[in-house]
Amino acid sequence: MKKINKNEEAVVVIGSGAGGGTMVYELTKAGIPCVCLEAGAFIKPEEYVNDEWPSFSQMAWLDKRTTSGNWRVAKDFPGLPTWLVKAVGGTTTHWAGATPRFLDYEFKTLSTYGEIAGASLLDWPISLTDMESYYTKAEDAIGSTHRGGRAPLPANNNYKVFANGAEKVGYKFYATGPYGTNAEAYDGRPGSIQDGFNFQGDKNLSKWNTAVREIPRALETGLLDLRPESHVVKITHDPSGRADAVLYVDKDGNLHRQAAKVVCLAGNSIESPRLLLMSDSNRFPNGLANGSDQVGRNYMRHMTGSMYARFEKPVNFYRGETMAGFIADEVIHDPNRGFAGGYYMETLALGPAFLAAFLDPGGYGPEFTAIMDNYENVAGMWLVGEDMPQSSNRITLSAETDQWGLPAPNVHFDDHPNDVAMREYAYEKAEALYNAVGALQTYRTPPYPSTHNLGTCRMSANPEDGVVDQWGRSHEVRNLFVSDGSVMTTGAAANPTLTIVALAIRQAEYLAGELKKGKV
């Protein structure tokens, strides 16, 4: 592995997940050496565990975090607002694999939906047309099924219930993808063996994950200096206001400095704004790149909910790919439904340990155990849709501290009335679907700790409306880039990983060009 001197002004990428992992691969492929600082350890696929809680303990981001706001997660999981991974590969280790693209109008929601009270809607400075070729590259990198001539995954048992229910209620747009796990061997990795542990890392390597594709390939170029267990705690700047170094803490608590000519920040929508807020200085008293006061604001986490249903006969929904089932019929903007924006329905299965923990936090009694007792006969789906950006939903620095004595992030989130209306509507539609194929009981499961964390450093045409420009480049600190889902101006209905990867490929291409022109 390449060793880059700590005094050498390097291209420094913070984080190695969908955004950071893609950045280091694309940059090193273009001949640009990079230092990648990852807070977590390099957990190898042979170390992944097919057991829910032990795997959670192995890879979840469990550093101190606090919560506030009226969302139910703050009540059910006050110390665990998100369900993210702290490891090389970031949350791509944990992601299920859904890869829908954003739709054209989802890049221009203010123009399409109009002003919505309490929402800070804004059109993206880019369009679907700008993104299309990068979406194709991202799908080819991930190996999305149903795209690029790649085969669909077969129907597993949970999908059979889901798709039959969809057909019965008149939905047309159901399928087993697009999904980021190989149905057949592709790109040097094997086809799925339907082992059912997507959330725990995929020991079979069929699921795309930057720890099994981008990071090893970037290391092979000989241009990547990967430093796991290196938690960046400050970005510093020179007198002119350019970022000039990052300070990070290693696993033993020692502080290091890496000089930087460019910083690409990809720590997820909680840690990225937290780091900018912690990087305040005399020149930037509100935090680095925060002259607009937009850093940390407009935190989005998608409208989510789940529906579990009990049937007379066995389903065994835990066998096979966790989320290889989609219904797109509700991904429309039709205000006649009582809300703006749309949502996907996606199959979802949990083992008994996680189902008990998440089915109805705080719940118990015979209705609860009727689902658990009939575990073999249960089917499940996730509902995921666009939530409204709100200026007051934000990441701030808490008075409580993390393991290094640094301010923990506080995650404040209030549901917008649009989110609540969409969730209620989606629950009813999900119940109708399962009832159409004979459900004996349905159970409305509230949101889990957030896996989709968006906004907080949003992209805007005007510097006063956001944090970064159309390339993810800070309006204020021109050698600072944000390379993760933080840049999303609005969240669309789609699962975000594909878009994060596509944006990172696009940003890396731009950055490589700017570096070659000497313009960074």
**HEC sequence for 313-372:** CCCCCCCCCCCCCEECCCCCCCHHHCCCCCEEEEECCCCHHHHHHHCCCCCCCHHHHHHH
CB distance 343 to 263 below 8 Å: no
- Provide, rounded to whole angstroms, the least separation between the CB of residue 159 and another protein: 7
Rounded to 10 degrees, the C-alpha dihedral 146/152/155/160 comes to: 20
Where on the chain is the footprint of another protein (CB under 8 A)? 50-53, 103-105, 108, 111-114, 146, 152-157, 159-161, 163-164, 167, 172-177, 192-197, 203-204, 313-316, 318-320, 328, 331-335, 351-353, 355-357, 362, 364-366, 368-369, 372-373, 375-376, 437
Q: What is the DSSP letter of 459?
A: B
Q: How far apart are the C-alpha atoms of 76 and 80, rounded to whole Å? A: 9
Q: How far apart are the C-alpha atoms of 73 and 79, rounded to whole Å? A: 9
- Provide, rounded to whole angstroms, the least separation between the CB of residue 177 and another protein: 8
Question: Which of 68, 164 has the CB closer to another protein?
Answer: 164
Helices (H) and strands (E) in the chain, counts: 12, 16
Question: Which of 68, 374 has the CB closer to another protein?
Answer: 374
Question: Which of 96, 266 has the CB closer to another protein?
Answer: 96
Question: Which of 293, 373 has the CB closer to another protein?
Answer: 373
Residues 6+ apart with CB under 8 A from 72: 446, 447
- Provide, rounded to whole angstroms, the least separation between the CB of residue 82 and another protein: 19
- Provide, rounded to whole angstroms, the least separation between the CB of residue 429 and another protein: 17
**Tokens 């809300």 found at:** 339
Question: Which of 204, 236 has the CB closer to another protein?
Answer: 204
Residue 458: strand, helix, or coil? coil
Q: What is the DSSP letter of 87?
A: B
- Provide, rounded to whole angstroms, the least separation between the CB of residue 375 and another protein: 4
Question: Which of 35, 175 has the CB closer to another protein?
Answer: 175
Alpha helix locations (H) across 143-252?
Answer: 157-168, 214-220
Question: Which of 38, 386 has the CB closer to another protein?
Answer: 386
Q: What is the CA 466 to chain-centroid distance, rounded?
A: 20
Question: Which of 248, 375 has the CB closer to another protein?
Answer: 375
- Provide, rounded to whole angstroms, the least separation between the CB of residue 491 and another protein: 17
Question: Which of 25, 344 has the CB closer to another protein?
Answer: 344
Question: Which of 204, 441 has the CB closer to another protein?
Answer: 204
Question: Which of 207, 227 has the CB closer to another protein?
Answer: 207
- Provide, rounded to whole angstroms, the least separation between the CB of residue 43 and another protein: 15
- Provide, rounded to whole angstroms, the least separation between the CB of residue 449 and another protein: 15
CB distance 436 to 170 below 8 Å: no
- Provide, rounded to whole angstroms, the least separation between the CB of residue 344 and another protein: 11
CB distance 448 to 83 below 8 Å: yes
Nearest to 208 by CA among 58, 16, 18, 23: 18
Residues 6+ apart with CB under 8 A from 270: 65, 81, 82, 84, 395, 409, 411, 453, 456
Residues 6+ apart with CB under 8 A from 54: none
Q: Which residues of 121-130 are buried (b: 16+ CB within 10 A; e: fewer)?
A: bbbbbbebee
- Provide, rounded to whole angstroms, the least separation between the CB of residue 456 and another protein: 26
Question: Which of 260, 437 has the CB closer to another protein?
Answer: 437
CB distance 183 to 151 below 8 Å: yes
- Provide, rounded to whole angstroms, the least separation between the CB of residue 103 and another protein: 6
- Provide, rounded to whole angstroms, the least separation between the CB of residue 348 and another protein: 15
**CA-to-CA dists, residue 213 to 1, 17, 92, 205, 501, angstroms:** 16, 11, 11, 9, 13
184-192 long-range contacts, CB within 8 A, separation 24+:
184/150, 184/151, 186/143, 186/150, 187/143, 187/213, 189/143, 189/213, 192/153, 192/321
